[in-house]
Structure 1
């Protein structure tokens, strides 16, 4: 049986707290709630040193998201944060030009 990917909040709690607060500021209440339940499916894989973007759902790389897709740009204090959302589901978190993400240290 395949194990589910970890929740982003378990790996990067500070990022999820920031995203939730920024989404609330933008009036995106439902996304602010659902961001706490997205899973860390993988990194973007581009290899660029300024990119820490993560995939939160399976999707063929390089393919458009299709109908129901929208970008939700946020206004963080540093760098860029943009969510790709399809029919209310966060599919991808674009994280650019930001300090390295801090992983939660597990005891």
Structure 2
């Protein structure tokens, strides 16, 4: 049986709380709820030192998302947070020019 990827909220609770708050402020109430249940499928993998982006769903890198895709730019105090959303599902969390994410220590 394949194990599901970890929830982003379990790894980076402060990030998810910030995303939920920012989404509410933008009037994105549904996404503010959904962000609590996204999973960390993979890191971006680009290798840029300013990027900490997270893939939250399977998708071929470099390929367009296609119909139903929209970008949701948020207004954090530092750096950039931008979500790629397809048909109401958060596919990617772009995290740029921000302090290093602090991962919750797992018991």
TM-score, structure 1 as length reference: 0.99
Q: Who is 1:50 aligned against?
A: 50
Q: Number of residue pairs matched?
A: 107
Q: Who is 1:85 aligned against?
A: 85
TM-score, structure 2 as length reference: 0.99
Q: Who is 1:5 aligned against?
A: 5
State the distance in 2 between where 1:45 and 1:16 align: 20
Q: Structure 2 regions of 5+ residues with no counterpart?
A: none
State the distance in 1 between where 2:56 and 2:42 align: 7
Q: Who is 1:39 aligned against?
A: 39
Q: Structure 1 regions of 5+ residues with no counterpart?
A: none
Segments ≥4 residues shifted beyond 4 Å = none
Q: 1:49-100: CA deviations, max 9, x gaps?
A: 0000000000001000000000000000000000000000000000000000
**SS at structure 2 position matched to 1:62:** coil
**SS at structure 2 position matched to 1:2:** coil
CA RMSD of aligned residues (A): 0.4
